[in-house]
Amino acid sequence: MTTVDTAATAMIIGASSSLSKELARQLANQNVKLILFVQQPEAMQSFAAELNTSVEVLPLSILMPDTAISQIKQAWQQHEGAHLVIINTGVNGYDSSLPWELEQGIINVNVMGFTAISNCVFKLMKEQGYGQIAAINSIAGQRGGPSMAYHASKAYAANYMQGLSMHAQRLKLPITISDIQLGLLDKAALQQNRFLLPPLEKVAKQILTALQKGKRRVYVTKRWRVVAWLNRYLPEYIYNTRHWKSKKKK
């Protein structure tokens, strides 16, 4: 663990993804202390050493919710809480034969694990008296799609965040709940399609700006708001193109 004088503390849950790493870099540049939760902490050590802030990398067992809750609680106690917790765990997959194992894996991480983490963090922030929880979510949750469990899990996460926000307001708790609705990412910056897929640096910057403004829900990058709107309101016969095509063949 590197120790430097810092202004605030942020936890990133699911910190091994390229987007999480970019968020970590930008938060480190803002002098924010970081606690990074990953499946394999040893694989993150060299990345952590590059960051110019106080960093600790800890294990996360999201498939064992009770263990994950203990891991978060232990870190919370050790670091005396956190101002911001970003939840960026997620899995996706597609197989037209619809194997149950694929659906189960998505539900376990995106629904069960996500609920265990956000529920635990909310209660820790309630005790602490303040905080902000940000879920890196997807516009895929606006409507059903070809990866059924993934789309459904993202709708679940959005509704869970809304419920937590309502709960915080009813209890008059200064806890901000932010739902980050992502479009597609240029994860490896390999696609070179800067028009459709914005670079991670820009995505992370827009996310952190929205969090600083305490936004409840934000579309990143901004142009994906239009896609999200279309996804939600297109009539079924246009949205469900395969249905439309098969009808045309008859």
Ligand X SMILES: NC(=O)c1ccc[n+]([C@@H]2O[C@H](COP(=O)([O-])OP(=O)(O)OC[C@H]3O[C@@H](n4cnc5c(N)ncnc54)[C@H](OP(=O)(O)O)[C@@H]3O)[C@@H](O)[C@H]2O)c1
Which residues contribute to the site for ligand X (CB under 6 A)?
A: 14, 16-20, 38-39, 60, 62-63, 88-91, 109, 136, 138, 182, 184-185, 187
* Smallest separation (angstroms) from ligand X to the CB of 248: 30
Work out how close the CB of 20 gets to ligand X at its nearest, in angstroms, rounded to a whole number. Answer: 6
Cβ distance to ligand X smaller for residue 50 or 127: 50
CB of 147 closer than 8 Å to CB of 94: yes
Q: Which residue, 185, 227, 231, 242, is CA-closest to 20?
A: 185
Nearer to ligand X, 17 or 53 (CB): 17
Shortest Å distance, C-beta 231 to ligand X: 12
Residues 244, 97, 182, 69, Cα dihedral to 10°: 150
Question: Nearest distance from residue 247's CB to ligand X, in Å?
Answer: 30
Q: Least separation, in Å, of the C-beta of 250 and ligand X?
A: 35
Residue 120 or 245 with smaller CB distance to ligand X: 120
Nearest-approach distance from CB 40 to ligand X, in angstroms: 6
User: Are 133 and 118 contacting, i.e. CB atoms less than 8 angstroms apart?
Assistant: yes
Tally of CB atoms within 10 A around 204: 21
Name which of 40 and 246 has its Cβ closer to ligand X.
40
Considering the complex, state which of residue 126 and residue 205 has its C-beta at the smaller distance from ligand X. 205
b/e sequence 68-101, b meaning 16+ C-beta within 10 Å: bbebbeebbeeeebbbbbbbbbbbbeeeeeeeee
Q: Nearest residue by C-beta to ligand X? A: 90
We find the least distance from the C-beta atom of residue 245 to ligand X, in angstroms, to be 26
- Compute, in degrees rounded to 10, the torsion defined by CA atoms 208, 67, 16, 151: -70
| Residue 39 CB neighbours (<10 A) | 15
CB 203 within 8 A of CB 19: yes
C-beta of 64 vs 173, nearer to ligand X: 64
The SS3 call for residue 115 is: helix
